[in-house]
Amino acid sequence: MPTVSLTLTEEEILRLCASFPASLHKTPGPYMRDLIKTEDCVLSVYNSGKVVFQGSKAEEYASPYRPKPKGIYPEAGSDEVGTGDYFGPIAVAAVLADQKDADFLKCLSAHDSKQITDARILETVPKIIERVPYSLCLLDNTKYNEVQPSNNMNRIKARLHNMCYRNLKKKYGTLPEHIIIDQFTPENLYYRYLSGEPEIIRGITFETKAEDKYITVGAASMIARYAFLKAMDQMSKKYGMEFPKGAGEKADEFAANFIRRYGKDELKHVAKLNFANTKKLPE
Ligand code: MG
């Protein structure tokens, strides 16, 4: 079920709660100050200021309360996916948007891909990449397992982000002054991870939760997710087995089945071997 979770200010909460008739307000549970139930959405308002929208219209109810993109355009932003998934590649995308592209992305309501269903990603991203400048870097599992022993995950991410911006620059000739990365490591470490790279893109702003604050980061997270889903699809077709996302029990079970069919040696082409899942495999 579509779920959106936002942290709102006191003023926004009052406005939100007042926008529903009294009959829709139900008795709130523990730690909650209000519970609103409409036909197509349940809104749980917590004392902390967090509001969870759940139901088919969750996005519609939540969107007026999403933080407004801070946009100074042109803007470039990047984000990565696949780093918590045992199977499949790591994908990093960067997006470059001028005011017009940003308006277009806002119309498509581009934001954090973790809050968007896979079906909507598959439907929306082709429209984005047809029109908005972007670059994409995929690190497949074979390569990941080669480089991982001498690189930690943050170093791998830093290099992929940097590569995305280099490609974006090469493709479009220039990068804007305003570049944002959804922060996964502090700024000083980010640049330290890049030492030795032939070209380092600098002047980047690092912010957490940037995928909801900057439209380019939101769009980048959607493009990266799209590429990840497509890659998983290709793997599933190639091996005739439907690869699961995440790194939980389903991944464990799948890995055991996979090595029964294809042998343990083949796993390095489809999984991130340094994950704890590998240790749980039957001998
Ligand atoms: Mg991120």
The token duo for 210 is 């940037």
Give me ligand 1 centre to Cα 258, in Å: 29
Average pLDDT value for residue range 21-37: 95
Residues in CB range of 19: below 8 A, 6 or more apart: none
How far from 118 is each of 137, 234, 245, CA to CA, in Å? 20, 15, 11
Above pLDDT 70, what percent of the chain? 99
Listing DSSP states for 95-159 in one string gives EEE-HHHHHHHHHTT---GGGS-HHHHHHHHHHHHHHS-EEEEEE-HHHHHHHGGGS-HHHHHHH
Average pLDDT value for residue range 31-54: 96
Q: Is pLDDT larger for residue 216 or for residue 112?
A: 216
pLDDT of amino acid 126: 97
pLDDT of amino acid 69: 59
Q: Is pLDDT larger for residue 252 or for residue 116?
A: 252
Give me ligand 1 centre to Cα 112, in Å: 8
How far from 92 is each of 17, 58, 79, 139, 262, CA to CA, in Å? 38, 27, 6, 9, 29
Structural domains in the chain, CATH included, are 3-65 (3.30.310.10), 75-232 (3.30.420.10)
How far apart are the C-alpha atoms of 139 and 126, rounded to whole Å? Answer: 21
The whole-chain average pLDDT of the chain stands at 93
Give me ligand 1 centre to Cα 211, in Å: 7
Query: From its phi and psi, is residue 168 left (phi > 0), alpha (psi between -120 and 50) or beta?
Result: alpha
pLDDT of amino acid 164: 98
Give me ligand 1 centre to Cα 87, in Å: 18
What are the pLDDT digits (tens) for 150-187? 999 999 999 999 999 999 999 998 899 999 999 999 99
Give me ligand 1 centre to Cα 63, in Å: 20
Give me ligand 1 centre to Cα 113, in Å: 9
Give me ligand 1 centre to Cα 249, in Å: 24
What are the pLDDT digits (tens) for 62-74? 988 887 656 689 9
pLDDT above 80 (res 112): no
Neighbours of 238 (CB within 10 A): 11
Give me ligand 1 centre to Cα 79, in Å: 5
As to burial, measured by CB atoms within 10 angstroms (0-12 exposed, 13-18 middle, 19+ buried), residue 207 is middle
- The pTM of this model reads 0.78
Give me ligand 1 centre to Cα 78, in Å: 8
Give me ligand 1 centre to Cα 18, in Å: 34
pLDDT of amino acid 68: 65
What are the pLDDT digits (tens) for 201-249? 999 999 988 888 899 999 999 999 999 999 999 999 999 999 999 999 9
Give me ligand 1 centre to Cα 264, in Å: 31
pLDDT above 90 (res 86): yes
